[in-house]
Amino acid sequence: MNLQQIKNRFGITGNSPRLNYALETAVKVAPTDITVYIQGESGVGKESFSKIIHQLSNRKHGPFFAINCGAIPDGTINSELFGHEKGAFTGAIDNRKGYFETVNGGTIFLDEIGELPLETQSRLLRLLENGEFIKVGSSKVMTTDVRIITATNKDLFAETQNGKFREDLYYRLSTLPIKVPALRERNQDIYLLFRKFAFDLAEKYHSPEVELDAEAEELLLKYSWPGNIRQLKNLTEQLAVLEQDHHITAATLRKYLPEHTTNLPALASRNGQQNSDFSERDIFYKVLFDMKNEMSDLKKIVLELLKKSNSKEEILQGNEAIIKRVLSEASDHEDVRSDMRIHRPEEEVVDDDDHYIIEPEDSVSLEENLSLEDKEEELIKKALLKNNGKRKRAAQDLGISERTLYRKIKQYELD
Protein backbone atom coordinates (compact mmCIF):
# COMPACT_ATOMS: atom_id res chain seq x y z
CA MET A 1 0.00 0.00 0.00
CA ASN A 2 1.58 3.28 -1.11
CA LEU A 3 1.39 6.61 0.71
CA GLN A 4 -1.50 7.99 -1.34
CA GLN A 5 -3.57 4.88 -0.65
CA ILE A 6 -2.87 5.35 3.06
CA LYS A 7 -4.10 8.95 2.83
CA ASN A 8 -7.26 7.92 0.96
CA ARG A 9 -8.05 5.14 3.42
CA PHE A 10 -7.67 7.28 6.54
CA GLY A 11 -8.90 10.60 5.16
CA ILE A 12 -5.55 12.40 5.30
CA THR A 13 -5.35 15.52 3.12
CA GLY A 14 -2.06 17.20 2.21
CA ASN A 15 1.23 16.72 0.40
CA SER A 16 3.73 18.68 2.48
CA PRO A 17 7.12 16.97 2.98
CA ARG A 18 6.81 17.05 6.79
CA LEU A 19 3.40 15.40 6.73
CA ASN A 20 4.60 12.74 4.29
CA TYR A 21 7.64 11.99 6.46
CA ALA A 22 5.47 11.57 9.56
CA LEU A 23 3.11 9.23 7.67
CA GLU A 24 5.99 7.18 6.26
CA THR A 25 7.40 6.77 9.77
CA ALA A 26 4.01 5.65 11.10
CA VAL A 27 3.64 3.08 8.30
CA LYS A 28 7.12 1.66 8.94
CA VAL A 29 6.68 1.31 12.68
CA ALA A 30 3.11 -0.06 12.53
CA PRO A 31 3.98 -3.80 12.06
CA THR A 32 6.22 -3.76 15.14
CA ASP A 33 5.29 -3.60 18.83
CA ILE A 34 7.52 -0.59 19.52
CA THR A 35 6.05 2.06 21.81
CA VAL A 36 5.40 5.18 19.72
CA TYR A 37 5.51 8.74 21.02
CA ILE A 38 3.51 11.19 18.86
CA GLN A 39 4.37 14.83 19.41
CA GLY A 40 2.46 17.81 18.07
CA GLU A 41 0.36 20.81 18.94
CA SER A 42 -3.29 20.54 19.88
CA GLY A 43 -5.51 20.03 16.85
CA VAL A 44 -2.93 18.59 14.43
CA GLY A 45 -4.53 15.12 14.29
CA LYS A 46 -2.37 13.01 16.60
CA GLU A 47 -5.18 10.52 17.23
CA SER A 48 -5.48 9.87 13.49
CA PHE A 49 -1.84 8.73 13.47
CA SER A 50 -2.49 6.37 16.38
CA LYS A 51 -5.38 4.78 14.44
CA ILE A 52 -3.19 4.40 11.36
CA ILE A 53 -0.54 2.59 13.40
CA HIS A 54 -3.13 0.28 14.98
CA GLN A 55 -4.95 -0.55 11.72
CA LEU A 56 -1.69 -1.38 9.93
CA SER A 57 -0.34 -3.51 12.81
CA ASN A 58 -0.72 -7.18 13.64
CA ARG A 59 -3.17 -6.11 16.38
CA LYS A 60 -5.66 -4.61 13.93
CA HIS A 61 -8.30 -7.22 14.89
CA GLY A 62 -7.82 -6.46 18.57
CA PRO A 63 -9.45 -3.59 20.51
CA PHE A 64 -8.31 0.02 20.18
CA PHE A 65 -8.98 2.47 22.99
CA ALA A 66 -8.10 6.18 23.12
CA ILE A 67 -7.77 7.82 26.53
CA ASN A 68 -7.35 11.53 27.27
CA CYS A 69 -5.18 11.48 30.38
CA GLY A 70 -5.92 15.12 31.12
CA ALA A 71 -9.67 14.44 31.33
CA ILE A 72 -9.46 11.88 34.16
CA PRO A 73 -9.17 13.19 37.76
CA ASP A 74 -5.94 12.33 39.58
CA GLY A 75 -7.84 10.49 42.29
CA THR A 76 -9.41 7.96 39.92
CA ILE A 77 -6.91 7.64 37.07
CA ASN A 78 -5.07 4.64 38.59
CA SER A 79 -8.39 2.84 38.98
CA GLU A 80 -9.40 3.72 35.40
CA LEU A 81 -6.14 2.49 33.89
CA PHE A 82 -5.23 -0.46 36.11
CA GLY A 83 -8.52 -1.40 37.79
CA HIS A 84 -9.30 -1.81 41.50
CA GLU A 85 -10.40 -4.37 44.04
CA LYS A 86 -13.62 -4.22 46.02
CA GLY A 87 -13.21 -1.99 49.07
CA ALA A 88 -9.96 -0.44 47.81
CA PHE A 89 -11.40 3.02 48.48
CA THR A 90 -14.69 4.70 49.33
CA GLY A 91 -17.19 3.87 46.62
CA ALA A 92 -15.34 0.77 45.36
CA ILE A 93 -18.33 -1.54 45.82
CA ASP A 94 -17.13 -4.15 43.35
CA ASN A 95 -14.05 -5.34 41.48
CA ARG A 96 -13.31 -3.40 38.34
CA LYS A 97 -11.13 -4.13 35.33
CA GLY A 98 -8.92 -1.32 34.11
CA TYR A 99 -8.30 -0.33 30.51
CA PHE A 100 -4.98 -2.19 30.33
CA GLU A 101 -6.69 -5.44 31.31
CA THR A 102 -9.71 -4.86 29.06
CA VAL A 103 -7.66 -4.01 25.96
CA ASN A 104 -5.42 -7.07 26.31
CA GLY A 105 -4.14 -7.98 22.81
CA GLY A 106 -4.97 -4.56 21.39
CA THR A 107 -3.70 -0.98 21.39
CA ILE A 108 -4.14 1.83 23.91
CA PHE A 109 -3.62 5.43 22.86
CA LEU A 110 -2.71 7.66 25.82
CA ASP A 111 -3.29 11.25 24.72
CA GLU A 112 -1.90 14.17 26.76
CA ILE A 113 0.39 11.81 28.65
CA GLY A 114 2.19 14.79 30.16
CA GLU A 115 -0.82 15.24 32.47
CA LEU A 116 -0.28 11.90 34.26
CA PRO A 117 0.47 12.13 38.01
CA LEU A 118 3.94 10.94 39.05
CA GLU A 119 2.51 7.89 40.86
CA THR A 120 0.69 6.80 37.71
CA GLN A 121 3.88 7.35 35.71
CA SER A 122 5.66 4.84 37.97
CA ARG A 123 2.93 2.25 37.37
CA LEU A 124 3.04 2.88 33.62
CA LEU A 125 6.83 2.49 33.54
CA ARG A 126 6.56 -0.96 35.13
CA LEU A 127 3.91 -2.00 32.61
CA LEU A 128 6.06 -0.81 29.71
CA GLU A 129 9.12 -2.64 30.99
CA ASN A 130 7.63 -6.10 31.63
CA GLY A 131 3.86 -5.95 30.99
CA GLU A 132 3.05 -6.19 34.70
CA PHE A 133 0.65 -4.10 36.78
CA ILE A 134 -1.18 -4.23 40.11
CA LYS A 135 -4.76 -3.19 40.65
CA VAL A 136 -5.52 -0.51 43.21
CA GLY A 137 -6.04 -2.18 46.59
CA SER A 138 -4.53 -5.49 45.47
CA SER A 139 -1.17 -7.18 45.98
CA LYS A 140 -1.53 -9.59 43.07
CA VAL A 141 0.71 -8.95 40.07
CA MET A 142 -1.15 -9.20 36.77
CA THR A 143 0.11 -9.20 33.19
CA THR A 144 -1.27 -7.80 29.99
CA ASP A 145 -0.26 -7.65 26.34
CA VAL A 146 -1.05 -4.21 24.99
CA ARG A 147 0.71 -1.86 22.64
CA ILE A 148 0.96 1.67 23.98
CA ILE A 149 0.95 4.75 21.77
CA THR A 150 1.38 8.07 23.56
CA ALA A 151 0.91 11.68 22.51
CA THR A 152 1.31 15.13 23.99
CA ASN A 153 1.42 18.78 23.00
CA LYS A 154 3.96 19.47 25.76
CA ASP A 155 7.74 19.35 25.65
CA LEU A 156 8.23 16.25 27.80
CA PHE A 157 11.99 16.75 28.02
CA ALA A 158 11.42 20.18 29.54
CA GLU A 159 8.89 18.60 31.90
CA THR A 160 11.56 16.16 33.10
CA GLN A 161 13.85 19.08 33.91
CA ASN A 162 11.07 20.67 35.95
CA GLY A 163 10.44 17.46 37.89
CA LYS A 164 6.93 17.06 36.46
CA PHE A 165 7.69 13.97 34.37
CA ARG A 166 9.86 10.97 35.13
CA GLU A 167 13.07 11.02 33.11
CA ASP A 168 13.27 7.22 32.86
CA LEU A 169 9.70 7.10 31.55
CA TYR A 170 10.47 9.82 29.02
CA TYR A 171 13.35 7.84 27.53
CA ARG A 172 11.26 4.67 27.59
CA LEU A 173 8.44 6.36 25.66
CA SER A 174 10.61 8.22 23.18
CA THR A 175 12.00 5.08 21.58
CA LEU A 176 10.44 6.17 18.31
CA PRO A 177 9.02 9.72 18.21
CA ILE A 178 6.79 10.95 15.41
CA LYS A 179 6.48 14.72 14.99
CA VAL A 180 3.15 15.75 13.44
CA PRO A 181 3.66 19.18 11.85
CA ALA A 182 1.53 22.17 12.79
CA LEU A 183 -0.74 23.57 10.09
CA ARG A 184 1.41 26.69 9.69
CA GLU A 185 4.33 24.37 8.88
CA ARG A 186 2.43 22.86 5.94
CA ASN A 187 1.22 26.05 4.29
CA GLN A 188 0.65 24.38 0.94
CA ASP A 189 -2.00 22.13 2.52
CA ILE A 190 -4.15 24.86 4.10
CA TYR A 191 -6.28 25.61 1.06
CA LEU A 192 -6.57 21.89 0.19
CA LEU A 193 -7.95 21.20 3.65
CA PHE A 194 -10.35 24.13 3.40
CA ARG A 195 -11.70 22.82 0.08
CA LYS A 196 -12.14 19.33 1.56
CA PHE A 197 -14.03 20.64 4.59
CA ALA A 198 -16.17 22.91 2.41
CA PHE A 199 -17.10 20.00 0.13
CA ASP A 200 -17.94 17.69 3.04
CA LEU A 201 -20.10 20.35 4.70
CA ALA A 202 -21.95 21.12 1.46
CA GLU A 203 -22.94 17.46 1.24
CA LYS A 204 -23.83 17.30 4.93
CA TYR A 205 -26.09 20.37 4.92
CA HIS A 206 -27.25 20.08 1.28
CA SER A 207 -26.11 23.64 0.62
CA PRO A 208 -23.85 25.42 -1.88
CA GLU A 209 -20.14 24.92 -1.33
CA VAL A 210 -18.29 27.75 0.41
CA GLU A 211 -15.85 29.53 -1.92
CA LEU A 212 -13.17 32.15 -1.26
CA ASP A 213 -12.19 35.04 -3.50
CA ALA A 214 -8.49 35.72 -4.18
CA GLU A 215 -7.99 38.10 -1.24
CA ALA A 216 -9.77 35.77 1.18
CA GLU A 217 -7.62 32.86 0.02
CA GLU A 218 -4.47 34.93 0.57
CA LEU A 219 -5.68 35.83 4.07
CA LEU A 220 -6.38 32.17 4.79
CA LEU A 221 -2.81 31.24 3.87
CA LYS A 222 -1.22 34.04 5.89
CA TYR A 223 -3.05 33.25 9.12
CA SER A 224 -0.97 31.37 11.74
CA TRP A 225 -3.70 28.84 12.77
CA PRO A 226 -2.82 28.35 16.45
CA GLY A 227 -5.70 25.82 16.68
CA ASN A 228 -4.38 23.95 13.63
CA ILE A 229 -6.66 21.64 11.60
CA ARG A 230 -9.40 21.66 14.24
CA GLN A 231 -9.60 25.45 14.06
CA LEU A 232 -9.67 25.46 10.24
CA LYS A 233 -12.49 22.89 10.20
CA ASN A 234 -14.51 24.86 12.74
CA LEU A 235 -14.07 28.07 10.76
CA THR A 236 -15.20 26.40 7.54
CA GLU A 237 -18.30 25.09 9.27
CA GLN A 238 -19.10 28.53 10.69
CA LEU A 239 -18.92 30.04 7.20
CA ALA A 240 -21.11 27.27 5.76
CA VAL A 241 -23.79 27.65 8.43
CA LEU A 242 -23.83 31.37 9.21
CA GLU A 243 -23.13 33.05 5.86
CA GLN A 244 -25.99 33.24 3.36
CA ASP A 245 -23.64 34.31 0.60
CA HIS A 246 -21.26 31.41 0.14
CA HIS A 247 -18.86 33.51 -1.92
CA ILE A 248 -16.60 34.66 0.92
CA THR A 249 -14.59 37.88 0.72
CA ALA A 250 -11.56 38.81 2.80
CA ALA A 251 -13.68 41.22 4.85
CA THR A 252 -16.14 38.44 5.70
CA LEU A 253 -13.40 35.94 6.49
CA ARG A 254 -11.64 38.41 8.76
CA LYS A 255 -14.70 38.51 11.03
CA TYR A 256 -14.22 34.82 11.84
CA LEU A 257 -10.48 35.00 12.49
CA PRO A 258 -9.37 35.98 16.01
CA GLU A 259 -7.57 39.32 16.03
CA HIS A 260 -4.52 37.99 17.83
CA THR A 261 -2.78 35.45 15.65
CA THR A 262 0.29 34.64 17.75
CA ASN A 263 0.77 32.33 20.69
CA LEU A 264 1.88 35.18 22.95
CA PRO A 265 -0.22 35.82 26.06
CA ALA A 266 -2.69 38.67 25.84
CA LEU A 267 -1.32 41.90 27.30
CA ALA A 268 -3.39 44.24 29.38
CA SER A 269 -3.12 47.95 30.12
CA ARG A 270 -2.50 49.22 33.64
CA ASN A 271 -6.17 49.69 34.32
CA GLY A 272 -6.73 45.99 33.64
CA GLN A 273 -8.45 46.47 30.28
CA GLN A 274 -7.10 44.64 27.26
CA ASN A 275 -5.40 46.91 24.77
CA SER A 276 -7.05 46.40 21.39
CA ASP A 277 -5.13 49.12 19.53
CA PHE A 278 -2.26 46.77 18.75
CA SER A 279 -1.97 43.12 17.87
CA GLU A 280 0.13 40.98 20.21
CA ARG A 281 2.87 40.90 17.60
CA ASP A 282 2.94 44.71 17.49
CA ILE A 283 3.12 44.93 21.28
CA PHE A 284 5.89 42.34 21.39
CA TYR A 285 8.00 44.24 18.89
CA LYS A 286 7.31 47.50 20.70
CA VAL A 287 8.61 45.98 23.94
CA LEU A 288 11.76 44.80 22.18
CA PHE A 289 12.41 48.19 20.65
CA ASP A 290 11.79 49.93 24.00
CA MET A 291 14.24 47.60 25.69
CA LYS A 292 16.81 48.25 22.98
CA ASN A 293 16.41 52.03 23.34
CA GLU A 294 16.71 51.81 27.13
CA MET A 295 19.90 49.77 26.85
CA SER A 296 21.33 52.40 24.47
CA ASP A 297 20.45 55.13 26.97
CA LEU A 298 22.00 53.10 29.74
CA LYS A 299 25.25 52.71 27.82
CA LYS A 300 25.42 56.46 27.28
CA ILE A 301 24.89 57.10 31.00
CA VAL A 302 27.64 54.63 31.92
CA LEU A 303 30.09 56.18 29.46
CA GLU A 304 29.35 59.67 30.76
CA LEU A 305 29.80 58.38 34.29
CA LEU A 306 33.19 56.92 33.44
CA LYS A 307 34.34 60.18 31.85
CA LYS A 308 33.25 62.32 34.81
CA SER A 309 34.30 60.00 37.66
CA ASN A 310 37.78 60.27 39.17
CA SER A 311 37.54 57.38 41.62
CA LYS A 312 36.14 53.90 41.92
CA GLU A 313 33.76 55.03 44.67
CA GLU A 314 32.14 57.57 42.35
CA ILE A 315 31.64 54.89 39.73
CA LEU A 316 29.86 52.65 42.23
CA GLN A 317 27.67 55.49 43.51
CA GLY A 318 26.64 56.41 39.97
CA ASN A 319 25.88 52.78 39.21
CA GLU A 320 23.61 52.61 42.26
CA ALA A 321 21.48 55.41 40.86
CA ILE A 322 21.21 53.60 37.55
CA ILE A 323 20.05 50.41 39.28
CA LYS A 324 17.29 52.31 41.08
CA ARG A 325 16.08 53.62 37.75
CA VAL A 326 16.09 50.15 36.16
CA LEU A 327 14.24 48.62 39.11
CA SER A 328 11.61 51.35 38.96
CA GLU A 329 11.00 50.74 35.25
CA ALA A 330 10.89 46.95 35.78
CA SER A 331 8.07 47.52 38.27
CA ASP A 332 6.00 49.29 35.62
CA HIS A 333 6.53 46.57 33.02
CA GLU A 334 6.71 43.41 35.15
CA ASP A 335 4.01 41.64 33.12
CA VAL A 336 5.98 41.81 29.87
CA ARG A 337 9.61 41.73 31.03
CA SER A 338 11.63 38.72 32.14
CA ASP A 339 13.34 38.93 35.51
CA MET A 340 17.03 39.78 35.40
CA ARG A 341 19.13 36.83 36.50
CA ILE A 342 22.01 38.08 38.60
CA HIS A 343 25.05 36.73 40.41
CA ARG A 344 25.93 37.38 44.03
CA PRO A 345 28.79 39.86 44.62
CA GLU A 346 32.04 38.07 45.17
CA GLU A 347 33.20 40.30 48.05
CA GLU A 348 30.66 41.73 50.52
CA VAL A 349 31.03 43.25 54.02
CA VAL A 350 28.62 44.99 56.41
CA ASP A 351 29.57 48.35 57.91
CA ASP A 352 28.57 49.69 61.34
CA ASP A 353 25.31 51.14 60.02
CA ASP A 354 24.10 47.75 58.74
CA HIS A 355 24.59 48.74 55.09
CA TYR A 356 26.06 46.36 52.54
CA ILE A 357 29.04 47.71 50.62
CA ILE A 358 31.36 46.21 48.04
CA GLU A 359 35.08 46.46 48.43
CA PRO A 360 36.28 46.71 44.81
CA GLU A 361 39.48 45.00 43.79
CA ASP A 362 42.53 46.94 42.69
CA SER A 363 41.64 46.64 39.03
CA VAL A 364 38.19 47.87 38.03
CA SER A 365 36.59 46.37 34.93
CA LEU A 366 33.22 47.04 33.39
CA GLU A 367 32.06 43.49 34.10
CA GLU A 368 33.06 43.65 37.78
CA ASN A 369 31.92 47.08 38.87
CA LEU A 370 29.36 48.20 36.34
CA SER A 371 27.24 45.06 36.42
CA LEU A 372 23.57 45.86 36.85
CA GLU A 373 23.01 42.29 37.94
CA ASP A 374 25.46 42.45 40.87
CA LYS A 375 24.16 45.81 42.07
CA GLU A 376 20.49 44.78 42.06
CA GLU A 377 20.85 42.16 44.77
CA GLU A 378 23.15 44.43 46.79
CA LEU A 379 20.61 47.27 46.79
CA ILE A 380 17.80 44.96 47.87
CA LYS A 381 19.94 43.73 50.79
CA LYS A 382 20.78 47.31 51.76
CA ALA A 383 17.15 48.38 51.73
CA LEU A 384 16.03 45.40 53.81
CA LEU A 385 18.76 45.92 56.41
CA LYS A 386 18.15 49.64 56.57
CA ASN A 387 14.44 49.10 57.25
CA ASN A 388 14.90 46.17 59.64
CA GLY A 389 13.33 43.74 57.20
CA LYS A 390 10.16 45.78 56.64
CA ARG A 391 9.48 45.11 53.00
CA LYS A 392 6.98 47.88 52.41
CA ARG A 393 9.48 50.53 53.45
CA ALA A 394 12.29 48.79 51.61
CA ALA A 395 10.21 48.78 48.40
CA GLN A 396 9.54 52.53 48.84
CA ASP A 397 13.28 53.22 49.24
CA LEU A 398 14.03 51.23 46.10
CA GLY A 399 11.23 52.90 44.16
CA ILE A 400 9.58 49.61 43.17
CA SER A 401 6.30 47.89 44.05
CA GLU A 402 6.02 45.45 46.96
CA ARG A 403 5.05 42.75 44.49
CA THR A 404 8.32 43.20 42.59
CA LEU A 405 10.31 43.22 45.83
CA TYR A 406 8.64 39.98 47.01
CA ARG A 407 9.51 38.36 43.70
CA LYS A 408 13.14 39.50 43.92
CA ILE A 409 13.48 38.28 47.54
CA LYS A 410 12.22 34.87 46.51
CA GLN A 411 14.48 34.86 43.45
CA TYR A 412 17.64 35.56 45.47
CA GLU A 413 16.55 33.45 48.47
CA LEU A 414 16.88 36.38 50.86
CA ASP A 415 14.23 35.14 53.33
Residues 217-275 pLDDT 10s: 999 999 999 999 999 999 999 999 999 899 999 999 999 998 654 444 444 433 444 44
Check pLDDT > 80 for residue 134: yes
First to last CA, the chain: 65
Specify the pLDDT at position 346.
Answer: 42
Percent of the residues in the chain that have a pLDDT greater than 90, as a whole number = 53
Residues 340-381 pLDDT 10s: 443 444 444 444 444 444 444 444 444 444 556 567 788 888
Q: How far is CA 126 from CA 103, 135, 346, in A?
A: 17, 13, 48
289 or 168, which is more confident: 168
Confidence of residue 57 (pLDDT cuts 50, 70, 90): very high
Query: What average pLDDT does this structure show over 185-198?
Result: 94
Model pTM score: 0.61
280 or 251, which is more confident: 251
Return d(Cα 263, Cα 231) in angstroms, integer.
Answer: 14
Query: What average pLDDT does this structure show over 183-194?
Result: 94
Specify the pLDDT at position 305.
Answer: 62
Strands 141-143 and 132-134 come out as: antiparallel
Check pLDDT > 60 for residue 290: yes
Which class for 353: exposed (0-12), middle (13-18), buried (19 or more C-beta within 10 A)? Answer: exposed
Specify the pLDDT at position 372.
Answer: 65
Confidence of residue 400 (pLDDT cuts 50, 70, 90): confident
Measured from the Cβ of residue 161, the count of other Cβ atoms closer than 10 Å reads 10
Check pLDDT > 50 for residue 148: yes
Measured from the Cβ of residue 247, the count of other Cβ atoms closer than 10 Å reads 12
- The DSSP secondary-structure symbol of 17 reads H
Domains assigned to the chain: 3-181 (3.40.50.300), 184-256 (1.10.8.60), 309-411 (no CATH)
For residue 375, which of 335, 344, 397 has the smallest C-alpha distance?
344
Specify the pLDDT at position 231.
Answer: 94
Query: What average pLDDT does this structure show over 110-122?
Result: 94
Confidence of residue 77 (pLDDT cuts 50, 70, 90): very high
Q: Would residue 374 be called left, alpha or beta, if left means φ above 0 and alpha means ψ between -120 and 50 degrees?
A: alpha
